[in-house]
């Protein structure tokens, strides 16, 4: 127990240590962003971190500290040799992403919500944000609620302009979701500015947003295939990250299988599809099934195609409650019986 206490003191961010200090290593609950987060006791901390690191869900130098009933866990990542104050979230499937700028967002949650609720009544021009201005994460949450779609009843150009100003300030200060929101805003502008969308996606990526890698890849594929090599490099950079490689390798597979901005290459497509399927991606397993059925990139093999599609549909049923390929599975089975 003493060793764990020393580890906490040595590595955890100071604001986090101040936050948990009143609880003296005991379990406690804290509500934030629609979830009741259970902060672990020192005993839980040791056991749960060992499990997460052994299973590869977090790196050995990362530290997790809380979870919720949805199977999600909060953790600090080791960035440039030390734990960042940024908080990340990971689920049971290993999908993770940025969650909060610091634990101070938790502390400011009620004050931030109060400001958000008062936007309409008081008017954003008359609000004093000084109570949360010391925490970029809290200011982001306020700006996020200030911004609205043109289809929302609360929409106004003035509100959105102010929200965008705040997003730019926060992105320049290192907030990845602020850059993400800017990219999303410019993507939906009536006149699309490809360079502006890419600028803010890349900013978000530089600030640690994995999701923006996938967003940028999809954007390049849809809007500017001249930059597909950039997309390929970004995806290859995720292949060594166990909790993102199955998604990245599937996208690489489809780029090569469909010849999206590159010369069509079935061998590379199959290679990355197999990589993704082996990592547990049932969409990749489905792709492989149809490749074997059609003999695309591989020697035609109806039996293997059938086995793969049954396997994929079983996983789909586990995830969605029902399968999607019953008709195709029956058709393959009929062709096999006719041989």
For residue 22, give the DSSP letter. G
Does residue 8 sit in helix, strand or coil? Answer: helix
- Fold of the domain spanning 2-103: SMI1/KNR4-like (3.40.1580)
The pLDDT mean for the chain works out to: 93
In the prediction, which pLDDT does 2 show? 44
- Cβ pair 71, 91 in contact under 8 A: yes
**How far out from the chain centre does Cα 275 lie?**
20
Sole residue written with tokens 């530089």: 206
In the prediction, which pLDDT does 149 show? 84
Candidates 217, 259, 260; CA nearest to 235 is 217
In the prediction, which pLDDT does 168 show? 98
In the prediction, which pLDDT does 151 show? 84
Q: Domain locations in the chain?
A: 2-103
For residue 321, give the DSSP letter. S
Per-residue pLDDT of 231-254, as tens digits, reads: 999 999 999 887 789 999 999 999
- Residue 273's φ and ψ, nearest 5 degrees, are -65, -40
> CA 66, CA 72: separation in Å to the nearest integer?
9
- Residue 79's φ and ψ, nearest 5 degrees, are -125, 120
pLDDT at 9 over 80: no
Mean pLDDT of 166-172: 98
Alpha helices per DSSP H over the chain: 2-11, 14-20, 42-54, 104-107, 109-117, 119-122, 136-146, 157-172, 176-187, 194-206, 211-223, 228-236, 245-258, 266-278, 282-294, 302-320, 326-338
pLDDT at 174 over 60: yes
> How many CB atoms are closer than 10 A to CB 250?
22
In the prediction, which pLDDT does 54 show? 93
Mean pLDDT of 26-51: 93
């Amino acid at each position: 127990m003493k060793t764990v206490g020393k580890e906490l003191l040595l590595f955890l961010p100071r604001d986090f240590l101040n936050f948990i200090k009143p609880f003296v290593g005991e379990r406690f609950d804290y509500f934030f962003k629609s979830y009741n987060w259970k902060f672990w006791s020192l005993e839980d901390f040791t056991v749960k971190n060992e499990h997460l690191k052994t299973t590869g869900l977090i790196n050995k130098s990362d530290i997790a500290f809380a979870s919720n009933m949805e199977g999600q866990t909060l953790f600090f990542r080791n960035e440039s040799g030390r734990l960042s104050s940024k908080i990340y979230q990971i689920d049971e499937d290993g999908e993770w992403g940025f969650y909060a700028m610091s634990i101070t967002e938790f502390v400011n949650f009620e004050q931030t919500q109060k400001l958000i609720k008062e936007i309409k009544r008081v008017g954003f021009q008359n609000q004093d944000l000084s109570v949360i201005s010391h925490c970029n994460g809290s200011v982001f949450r306020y700006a996020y609620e200030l911004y609205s779609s043109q289809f929302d009843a609360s929409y106004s150009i003035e509100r959105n302009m102010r929200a965008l100003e705040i997003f730019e300030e926060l992105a320049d200060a290192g907030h990845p979701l602020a850059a993400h929101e800017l990219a999303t805003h410019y993507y939906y502008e009536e006149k699309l500015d490809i360079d502006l969308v890419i600028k803010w996606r890349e900013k978000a990526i530089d600030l640690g947003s994995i999701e923006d890698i996938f967003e940028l890849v999809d954007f390049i594929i849809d809007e500017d295939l001249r930059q597909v090599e950039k997309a390929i490099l970004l995806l290859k950079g995720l292949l060594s990250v166990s909790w993102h490689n199955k998604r990245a390798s599937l996208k690489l597979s489809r780029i090569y299988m469909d010849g999206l901005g590159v010369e069509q290459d079935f061998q590379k497509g199959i290679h990355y599809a197999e990589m993704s399927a082996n990592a547990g991606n049932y969409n990749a397993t489905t792709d492989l099934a149809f490749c074997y059925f059609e003999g695309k990139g591989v020697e035609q093999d109806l039996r293997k195609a059938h086995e793969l599609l049954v396997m994929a549909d079983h996983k789909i049923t586990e995830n969605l409650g029902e399968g999607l390929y019953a008709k195709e599975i029956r058709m393959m089975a009929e062709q096999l019986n006719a041989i």
